[in-house]
Copies of this chain bind each other. A is one copy, B any other.
Amino acid sequence: MISFEKAFREVMKHTQEWGNEQVPLLESTGRVLAAPILADRDFPPFDRATRDGIAICSTALEKGKTAFPIVGMQSAGMPQQQIGSPDHCMEVMTGAMVPLNTDTVIMYEKISLEDGIAKITGNPKKGQNIHRKGSDLKKGEVILPGDIRITAAEIGVLATVGQDYVTVKKMPKIGVISTGNELVDISTIPLPHQIRKSNVLSLYAALSRENIRPELIHLKDERTVLQERVSKAIRENDVLLLSGGVSKGKFDFVPEVLEALGVAKTFHRVAQRPGKPFWFGVQEVLGTTVFSFPGNPVSTYANYHIYFVPWLYRSLGLPYPNREVILYEAIANTLPLTRFVQVKTFWKNGSLYAKPIQDGGSGDMASLTRSDGFIRLAPKENAHKKGSMVPYIPK
């Protein structure tokens, strides 16, 4: 049995890379940008009016001129117009190019209009109300760095620079395998000794948030069935997430089946609660990474968030922030194990507070719906006072 810290470090040593692929822009949301994106032109691409009003040449202003005949209209989407004389002006719309021979925009609210003449009432500043060509970014500069998650804001930028297809990091192929003779399908009425499958479906939902659609497999606790089907899954996937079959029970064949299939054990059993029987290894030839979680719902779910999610982020080149929360009540851990305690969090004064929830142990699946994540307590740690900070793993 190894410590949580050692187990976590070992998992993090075994990251993978899955290469890149091109996807249509609107399907790239939530994916990880593979490489920096460069500006394909200056931003803004032209001197751009930021107000509706008139454009003038500031030299006329400097000469004391306050009334300008309007010689035309420059609207957004219109090729650049021009004024022939610095004594003239042109109407200009927000988003339009600033007309040639003008350098200052005055909004309608600051002029009066009569008989085609614009009279200036205020005291305009040379160059005002113009978003200068290239002032945000020059052509060829990095507009988006690589290794970032694409969200709605990045989609806008990618559209602006014409990326109708985006090069993103490939996501791993993942097989999610549950074991256990007691488990039956959702649509079944279970007999008294049976329960419906739920862990694989929870994992499916959690993985779909990461843009991964795993293959779901359920297996009976039978050595030959397990060996044959897990062997196929190892060949067909980059990662396997197993739930169940890793404890000390007579039908817990998973560790020996995995080892028989060439998955080298990195560790089995971690000094933690929940999830002590966690088994982790890598198939020596194919590199398939195997997270084999205990089958209790809370154990599976906690281990997924504690180990798999940071591993996935690191494999994708994304930062995984260390978070802390403030305890809303005192808590102690007298066990010689690292404990992960389910908490409900809430915001107060710009800070995130956490309050442990009541649960019925690691079999209490419903408790997971009442918590926002887990706090981590070191083995036999001195009691944490109300108001102290502890590491936090959100879910």
Q: Interface residues, chain A, CB within 8 Å of chain B?
A: 25-26, 29, 41, 43-46, 48, 50, 52, 73, 75-80, 91, 93-97, 108-109, 131, 135-137, 143-144, 148, 151-157, 159-164, 180-183, 186-199, 201-206, 208-209, 221, 247-252, 295-297, 301, 321-326, 347, 349-353, 360-369, 371, 389, 395
**Interface pair B163/A186, CB less than 8 Å apart:** yes
Q: State whether B43 touches A366 (Cβ < 8 A).
A: yes
A20 to chain B, nearest CB (A): 20
Residues of B within 8 A of A77 (CB): 180-183, 193-194, 221
A-B contact pairs, 16 of them (CB 8 A): A43-B366, A46-B192, A52-B249, A76-B180, A76-B249, A77-B183, A78-B182, A79-B193, A94-B247, A131-B361, A143-B366, A152-B203, A155-B204, A156-B198, A159-B196, A350-B353
Asked whether A198 lies within 8 Å of B152 as measured between CB atoms, the reply is: no
Give the top 10 A-B pairs by smallest Cβ distance, nearest first. A77-B181, A77-B182, A156-B202, A153-B368, A152-B206, A152-B205, A93-B249, A159-B198, A76-B182, A155-B205
**A232 CA / B44 CA spacing, docked (Å):** 34
Q: Which residue of B lies closest to A160 (CB)?
A: B198
Interchain nearest-CB distance for A359 vs B (Å) = 8
Cα separation A29 to B204 with both chains bound (whole Å): 10
A189–B195 Cα distance when bound, in Å, is 59
Q: Which residue of B lies closest to A348 (CB)?
A: B324
Nearest B residue to A135 by beta-carbon distance?
A: B360
Task: Tell me which of B46, B209, B366 contacts A137 (CB under 8 A).
Answer: B366
User: What is the CA–CA distance of A52 and B323 in the complex, to the nearest angstrom?
Assistant: 35
Q: Are A73 and B250 in contact (CB under 8 A)?
A: yes
The 8 Å CB contact of A80, one of B131, B164, B193, is B193
Q: In the assembly, what is the distance between CA of A322 and CA of B325, in Å?
A: 18
CB <8 Å contact, B324 and A349: yes
Known: A157-B366, A352-B352, A365-B157. A205 touches B80 (CB 8 A): no
A202 to chain B: which residues have CB within 8 Å?
152-153, 155-156, 159
Q: Are B325 and A350 in contact (CB under 8 A)?
A: yes
**Knowing A144-B369, A151-B205, A249-B93 touch, does A195 contact B363 (C-beta < 8 A)?**
no
Instruction: Please indicate which of the listed interface residues A52, A95, A349 has the most CB atoms of chain B within 10 Å of its own CB.
Output: A95
Q: Once the chains are docked, how many angstroms separate the CA of A135 from the CA of B363?
A: 11
Residue among A97, A162, A193, A195 having the largest count of chain B Cβ atoms under 10 Å: A193
Which residue of chain B has the shortest Cβ distance to A363 in the bound complex? B131
Contact A205 B45 (CB under 8 A): no
Partner among B75, B247, B366, B369 whose Cβ is within 8 Å of the Cβ of A249: B75
- Give the residues in chain B near A371, CB-CB below 8 Å: 153
Question: Distance in Å from the Cβ of A395 to the closest Cβ of chain B?
Answer: 7
Q: A46-B192, A352-B352, A363-B131 are contacts. A94–B29 as well, Cβ < 8 Å?
A: no
